[in-house]
Amino acid sequence: MPDIVYTITGNITKDQLTQAFSAAGVTTTMNATGMTTLTLTPGTNAAGTSAISTASLSTVGLFFARNLSTVETAAVSFGQLSAGAMVPTVSLLGGEAAVGRLAAGSYACQSNLTGTK
């Protein structure tokens, strides 16, 4: 039985191009449950990379991330830490959100604009 059922809908519009996509009733089954919430203000360089702690979770699973900035060009990137350096895998512009499943590992985030959350 799925633990989480969610719907993703997106509309992309630029000039004369309009594209829509939808994934309805996507299900996720996890053997272990737990939740952690974080609001981070990542730095803009390697020294300001913010670690994302998953220490309180017995296993990692589904994630929901959102860039809370109202500045459209403010990007927040996040990804796994490798030898202490972040390897960006997802980049969200102001207001964008993402849903996915985490692999085991350590995570971090970084921004291109000071004060972005």
> pLDDT tens, 16-75?
888 777 766 666 666 666 677 788 888 888 788 888 877 777 776 778 888 898 898 999
pLDDT value at residue 22: 73
Domains in the chain: how many in total?
1
pLDDT value at residue 33: 64
pLDDT value at residue 75: 92
Whether 100 maps to a domain, the answer reads yes
Whether 40 maps to a domain, the answer reads yes
* Distance of alpha carbon 65 from alpha carbon 72, whole angstroms: 16
Q: Which residue has the higher pLDDT, 81 or 61?
A: 81
* Distance of alpha carbon 16 from alpha carbon 12, whole angstroms: 11
Provide the residue type at 34 as one letter.
G
The CA distances from residue 38 to 16, 51, 52, 100, in Å, are 38, 11, 8, 16
Whether 20 maps to a domain, the answer reads no
Whether 9 maps to a domain, the answer reads no
| Three-state SS at 68 | coil
Whether 116 maps to a domain, the answer reads no
Whether 17 maps to a domain, the answer reads no
- Domain of residue 84, residue span: 32-111
pLDDT value at residue 15: 84
Whether 49 maps to a domain, the answer reads yes
pTM of the model: 0.66
Q: What is the CA radius of gyration of the chain?
A: 16
DSSP 14: E
Whether 12 maps to a domain, the answer reads no
**17-28 and 97-101 as β-strands: parallel, antiparallel, unpaired?**
unpaired
